[in-house]
Structure 1
Amino acid sequence: MPAHFNRPFETEIAFEVKSYDVDYVGYVHNAVYIRWLEDLRNTMLQAYYPLERFVNEGQSPILARTSIEYKRPLRLFNRFTGRVWVTQLEGVRWSVEHELLHEGKVAATAEQSGIFLNLKTHRPVAVPAELIEKFSAFQLQTAQLQTVQLQTVQQQAI
């Protein structure tokens, strides 16, 4: 994973806009963004806690909300990078954020949230302990790094 990743479970994918992704105006159709977010989320899960494992354990993360802000249009043949990272794992809930970058500029940002669901009872279940542990460890590591960086800046100012 690239060194610039500094957010929990951050995952990156390269995309290219295909002919079937664009609408009659020549811009990427809004529904396509949802598919790209799904691709990003599934790739992140595959790296950290595969969906197959969730299903085998009788549970699954379920999407409840998606919000997208379109900042710059993407067009046919554009190549761009998508990133996703976790912003919340607490109780039964999860949240992720996404950004789509084209030529170094943000083309879109998105937030998604949901719950973990027991596949037999269709009732909410707690976030798997292993995910909470990984998320907490990352938050602790980030806090420690920020403390070291702050101390370095303070020492340089003296």
Structure 2
Amino acid sequence: MTDTALRPFEIALPIPVRTYDIDFAGIVSNIVYIRWLEDLRLAMLDAYFPLQTQVTDGIGPVLVSTQIEYKRPIRLFDKVIGRMWVSELGTTRCNLQAEFAANDVITTTAAQVTVFINTHTMRPVPIPAHLREQYQRMSGE
């Protein structure tokens, strides 16, 4: 596993591999990882910045990019754990890192970039101050 010493906002979830996640080659389909990343991202947001608060504040996160590196296949009965954390927090951008491990071996790594937007204007807004303060405490910056 990767060093977890400074992983702000980290969450870890067991990821069930469903029969419908498997492609014709008998492995988890590449597109399934996108759904799993979304599950992780939503769980992280729920833990630190719940949807109700976002709606009340009139802001929300949107994805700018997703990159995935598939190192090893995941199969139907593998025990999968997904992890996601914030690797960098800019003024308006938030860089996320994620990994999936099957049977204690990292199989997949991913990076996502998000921005917060004003839900009325659909324009980027600064990262909320309370998230920035939490990030600074967690990362030691």
Instruction: Give yes or no for TM over 0.5.
Output: yes
Percent of aligned pairs with the same residue?
Answer: 44
> Residues 95-151 of structure 1: CA distance to partner in whole angstroms, max 9, x if unpaired?
1000101122111000000211000011110000000000011122xx7xxxxxxxx
What is the deviation of 1:51? Answer: 2.4
Indicate the larger mover: 4-13 or 16-25: 4-13
Three-state SS of the structure 1 residue aligned to 2:133 is helix
Matched, 1:135 2:118: no
Q: CA RMSD in A?
A: 1.3
**Structure 2 residues without counterparts, runs of 5 or longer:** none
In 2: Cα distance, 1:89 partner to 1:108 partner: 23
2:30 aligns to what? 30
Normalised to the residue count of structure 2, the TM-score between the two structures is 0.93
What is the deviation of 1:21? Answer: 0.2
**Structure 1 residues without counterparts, runs of 5 or longer:** 144-158
2:103 aligns to what? 103
Normalised to the residue count of structure 1, the TM-score between the two structures is 0.83
The within-5 A match list for 1:4-153 is: 6-140=6-140
Which structure has the highest helix share of the two? 1
Structure with bigger RCO (C-alpha 8 Å, 6+ apart): 2
What is the deviation of 1:55? Answer: 1.9
